[in-house]
A = this chain, B = another copy of it.
Amino acid sequence: MTPQRPTSRAPTNNQETKREPGRSESAGLAPLRLRLDLRYDGGAFHGWATQPGLLTVQQSVEEALWRALSLPAPPALTVAGRTDAGVHARGQVAHVDVSAECWAAAAVSARRRLARLLPASVLVTAIGPAPAGFDARFSALWRRYSYRVCDEPALADPLRRHDTLWYFRTLDLDRMNEAATTCLGEHDFAAFCRGRPGATTIRELLRLDWSRVEPGVSVATVVADAFCHNMVRALTGALLSVGDGTRPPDWPSVVLAARQRDPAVRVAPAHALCLEEVGYPEPGEMAARAIATRRTRTAAG
């Protein structure tokens, strides 16, 4: 099910490798892995991943954890989906390693303290000890995103303009779903990705379909084992071109088959994209899944 990927796709978590020395927060103490569930308004941040001088979700949450759990230093979060600038999340998952002693002292009030320390644009909805072997990134089986579009000017809602694309050409959802079906399965999605040199772009697209959720508003549901950079937004952009009649329904599959980035595919704007859910195996399967993911991602190296 999971394709082989070359070594050059970072075998370990990027965030961890960027840490300066001495940020390990559990030296000499019993380590404990915590799972965090997060929701955030991506419009308030320059994406998930820490960047010098920019406000990011990762940095905000790490600093809040540092204070809320009285850790010796800001901890290093590992995340399931490294959302780009402007992309939202209702079901982001991260893990962090702390000392069992720190957690024991802070557990009862942790979520309440985090709520006070974080801006209203980011919420830790749950925090607690993770199942054995859990890795927010490598244990994940799939990620589910949504993309929200309004195609009817009279029904556009200014209150939802922060998470909805206003695309005022009537969309034919049947055409879009016909086109979407041709992209399902395991493929090299290079045509729909902003590539990183040497990184694999093979992914398994498990679900891609559109439905009208209210008058004038349609939502795409997109599920894959993992996504390359820009993949959901490029697929969405291609399907919008099919939906408005600019391109035929077989166009996305033709683009896909070419296996190289096609400038005719417009990357849909970030603000209508939301990470809704990350799927994990049963608690007893976490370590096995993480090992399998790491192995397939390094086997071809």
Q: Mark A24-54, 1 if CB is under 8 A from B, else 0.
A: 0000000000000101110000000000000
**Interface residue A126 (Cβ < 8 Å from any Cβ of B):** yes
Is chain A's interface secondary structure helix, strand, loop, or mixed overall?
mixed
CA distance A209 to B274 in the complex (A): 32
Known: A120-B161, A161-B120. A155 touches B125 (CB 8 A): yes
CB <8 Å contact, B39 and A156: yes
Set of chain B residues within 8 Å of A155, measured between Cβ atoms: 125
Contact of A159 among B111, B156, B158, B162 (CB under 8 A): B162
**Interface residue A204 (Cβ < 8 Å from any Cβ of B):** no
Known: A111-B153, A115-B153, A153-B115. A159 touches B125 (CB 8 A): no
CB distance from A155 to the nearest CB of B (A): 7
Nearest B residue to A154, CB-CB? B125
Copies of this chain per assembly: 2
Q: Mark A109-120, 1 if CB is under 8 A from B, else 0.
A: 001000100001
**Interface residue A261 (Cβ < 8 Å from any Cβ of B):** no
Nearest B residue to A44, CB-CB? B158
Set of chain B residues within 8 Å of A153, measured between Cβ atoms: 111, 115, 123, 125
Set of chain B residues within 8 Å of A159, measured between Cβ atoms: 39, 41, 88, 90, 162-163, 274
**Interface residue A101 (Cβ < 8 Å from any Cβ of B):** no
Interface size class of A (residues with CB under 8 A): 20 to 34
**Interface residue A16 (Cβ < 8 Å from any Cβ of B):** no
Set of chain B residues within 8 Å of A154, measured between Cβ atoms: 37, 125-126
CB <8 Å contact, A121 and B40: no
CB distance from A279 to the nearest CB of B (A): 18
Set of chain B residues within 8 Å of A156, measured between Cβ atoms: 39, 123, 125
Set of chain B residues within 8 Å of A39, measured between Cβ atoms: 156-159
